[in-house]
Structure 1
Amino acid sequence: MQNLETQLGELGFAGDDMVVPFQVDALDVRGRTVQLGPLLDTMLARHAYPEPVARLLAEAVVLTALIGTSLKFEGKFTVQTKGDGPVDLLVADFSTPDALRGYARFDQAALDAAIEAGKSEPEALLGRGVLAFTIDQGGFMQPYQGIVELDGRSLEEIAMAYFRQSEQIPTAVRLGVAKLFSRDEDGQPRESWRAGGLVAQFLPQEPERMRQPDLHGGDGDDGVLSHDPDDAWSEARAMVETIDLDEMTDPEVGAERLLYRLFHERGVTVYPAHGVYDRCSCSREKIRDVLGAFTAEELAESTENGKITVTCEFCSTAYEYAPEEFGQD
C-alpha cells in the first residue's frame, strides 16, 4: 500500500491493462480504476466489429475487469446483456486470477438501419431486455445472478442501478471508450482502441450511513425523498462525475494521475495493481466433451467435408475433429 503522492514520485504508473484499487478514508470510499490498451485493441480487432458494436463491448469489458478483479475467491464473474436491439447479446467474463474475454453478437442489417436512422447511441443498439451479473464459484456452489432491466439507460447507469437495488451499496460508475489514431514505424496510419473506467463505492463503518434516497415510486409519487444522502458520499459522487472521457482513455493521464486529480485534497491511497490478460478459457478438450454429448444425427449434421469444425466465439480459435473420434464413421 502506498500513499498516492509517494507512488507518483517513486514508483511511477501502473500502465495499461492494470486494475488499480484505491481508498479514500476521509470519504469512506473504496474503488478501482483501469485503462485498457493492447488487451482491448487485440480483443476487438480479432472480430473486426463495426465501431458502434466495438464501443459497446469495450464498455462491458471494462466493467467486467473492474468488478471481476475484486473477487476474493477462485471463480468467474460475467456481465451479459440480452436485448431486442441490433446488438442483441454482449458477454464479457473474468476468470480468476487474471483472464478477461468478451464477445458481441449483432444483426448487421438491423445495425445498418439503426445507424441510417440516427439511432446509433448505445441505449438504442441494446434495446429493451436485461443485464445480468453472474458470480460462479465453481465446485458445488450455486452461481449467484443479479438481473437489472435494460430500459434505455447507459451501461454506466444500469450498473449503478444494479448495485443500488441488488447490493444496497451506493456506487458511482464511469466508463469511457476511444479510438486513437497514430502512425506505425513505417509511417502508415494506425487505429487502436482504448477504454477506461472507475468504480467508487461508499462503505462506511456505520451501515445506516449507506442508506440512499428512495427510488421513485412511479405514477403518483410526489417526488419527496425520505432522507438526504450522506455528505461524504455526495462529495465523492460529485468528484467522480467530473471525470472526462479523455482522462479515462489518455495513456498520458493514467490511473494514478486521475485519482490524484480527483481525491488529492482528501488523501487517496492506492494498492498494488492487478494485471488482466486477453485469455480465453476454451480448449480442444472442453469442446470435444461438448461434442461427445451430441447424438449421431447431430454429429452428422455438423460434419462438412469429412470433419467437424468448431470456432470459439470469443477468441476465434478453430478446432477440427474427425467424426470417428465420436464413434461415427
Structure 2
Amino acid sequence: MTENLLSTMGLDRPETGDDAVVPFTLDKLDTRGRVVRLGASLDTILSRHDYPTPVARLLGEAVVLAAMIGSSLKFEGRFILQTQTDGPVNLIVVDFDAPDGMRGYARFDRDAVVKAAEEGRISPAELLGKGHLAMTIDQGAHMERYQGIVALEGNTLEEVAHTYFMQSEQIPTQVRIAVAQMTTRGDHRPRWRAGGMLIQHLPENGISVMPDLPGDGDFDNPDMVDPDYVEADGWSEARALLGTVDDLELADPDISPERLMFRLFHETGVRVFPPQPLEERCTCSVDRIEDMLANSFSDEEREDMAVDGEIEVVCEFCSTAYRFNPHQFQVKN
C-alpha cells in the first residue's frame, strides 16, 4: 500500500516520520497548508520539567502551533509564541529558531493546577484564564520586529489561533492540534507526541474577500461575519475535510503526514513538498549568559546574586545550570 500511496501522490521519497513539518498545497481549492508531527523532540521539551499532565498537554499544543507557523519563515530568525494570563498557567513561551529549532517553557501555580484538576477544570481556557497571546517575528538585531497580539478568547488554542489570523493577518486559516501520551512495547514510560495541521485560503482569483479591518468578522460565528465576506466553495470544502480529522490520526506514529493527507484530500488532489526536519534545541550558552550578567547588572547586584561565592543561572527552557564567579566580571567593566 505504501508504494501505491507514494505513486498516487507523485512522491519519490519515503513517507515522513516524526519531528518534521510537511508543506502541501490543494491547488483546486486555492489552499495551502502544513502538517507537523512531533515525537522525541516534544517528549524532551515536556519531560525536562515536572509538569502536571494538563500543563504538559497545553504546552505541547503551543509547541505544535509555534512549529506550524514558525516553519513558514523564509529567513533565519525567531518566531516567538507567548501567553500571559491570570490563570493557573500564567505564562507559556515557545521559541522557534528558524529553520528547525524549538524550545518551550510553561510557568504555573502547582497548587492552583492541582485544585483545577480535582474540580475537572483543565480545559485550555480554564488553565490559562484571561490574558493575551502574542506572536512575534524577530528578524535579527538590525531588523524591526513584527508582533501581533490577540485576547485569549476561546476554549482551545486552536480557536485562539483562528482569532489571531483573522485579526492580525486577515488570512482565512483553520488549525487542528492533538497532543497525546503513548506507550510502545518495551518502553518504561509513556512518551509525549503530537500532530497538527494548518490550512490557509490564498485564492489568486480574489473569490474570497476578507473583512476590511481587523476584528470586523468572525469566521466561526455567522452572526459576526462582515457582510462583504464571501467564503469560496474551495475553502469551505477544505475546512470541511480538515474537520473530519480526529486526534488519533494527527498523533498516531503509524499514520505518516503523507498518508494523512491522502486520506483527507485524495479526491481533490494534494501536492506535497519535501519535509523539513525539526529538533528540540535550546539557544542558551555560557557566552550569552556571561554577557547578560556583565552588561545588565552592577558589581553590587552580582555580589547579591552569589550564593556560597557563586552565581548560578538555570535556563528555564532546558534546565541547564551555569555557574560564575561574581568577581570575574569586574575586569570587564
TM-score under structure 1 length normalisation? 0.92
Query: CA 1:164–1:223 in 2, change beyond 3 Å: closer, same or farther?
Result: closer
Aligned equivalent of 1:137: 139
RMSD: 2.0
2: CA distance between counterparts of 1:223 and 1:93? 33
Aligned equivalent of 2:52: 50
2: CA distance between counterparts of 1:234 and 1:289? 52
Aligned equivalent of 1:311: 314
Aligned equivalent of 1:175: 177
Contact 2:209 2:230 in 1 (8 A): no
Aligned equivalent of 1:325: 328
Q: Please state how far the C-alpha of 1:43 moved relative to its aligned partner.
A: 1.2
Aligned residues: 319
2: CA distance between counterparts of 1:99 and 1:32? 17
Query: CA 1:9–1:77 in 2, change beyond 3 Å: closer, same or farther?
Result: closer
Aligned equivalent of 2:247: 245
Q: Which of 283, 295, 298 is equivalent to 1:295?
A: 298
Aligned equivalent of 1:22: 24
Q: Please state how far the C-alpha of 1:12 moved relative to its aligned partner.
A: 2.3
Q: Please state how far the C-alpha of 1:141 moved relative to its aligned partner.
A: 1.2
Query: CA 1:222–1:146 in 2, change beyond 3 Å: closer, same or farther?
Result: closer
1:143-186 residue CA offsets vs partner (Å, 9 max, x unmatched)? 100001012431001101111111110001000001112343xx
1: CA distance between counterparts of 2:225 and 2:279? 46
| Superposition pairs of residues 1-329 of structure 1, within 5 angstroms | 5-6=7-8, 10-184=12-186, 189-211=188-210, 215=217, 226=227, 227-292=229-294, 293-327=296-330
Partner-residue secondary structure (3-state), 2:88? coil
TM-score under structure 2 length normalisation? 0.91
Contact 1:20 1:33 in 2 (8 A): yes
Query: CA 1:222–1:267 in 2, change beyond 3 Å: closer, same or farther?
Result: closer
Partner-residue secondary structure (3-state), 1:156? helix
Partner-residue secondary structure (3-state), 2:189? strand
Runs (5+) with no aligned partner, structure 1: none
Q: Please state how far the C-alpha of 1:74 moved relative to its aligned partner.
A: 1.5
1:287-328 residue CA offsets vs partner (Å, 9 max, x unmatched)? 011111211222122100111110100111111101121129
Query: Mean Cα displacement is larger for which, 266-275 or 289-298?
Result: 289-298
Q: Please state how far the C-alpha of 1:24 moved relative to its aligned partner.
A: 0.7
State percent identity of aligned pairs: 52
Partner-residue secondary structure (3-state), 2:89? coil
2: CA distance between counterparts of 1:269 and 1:222? 35
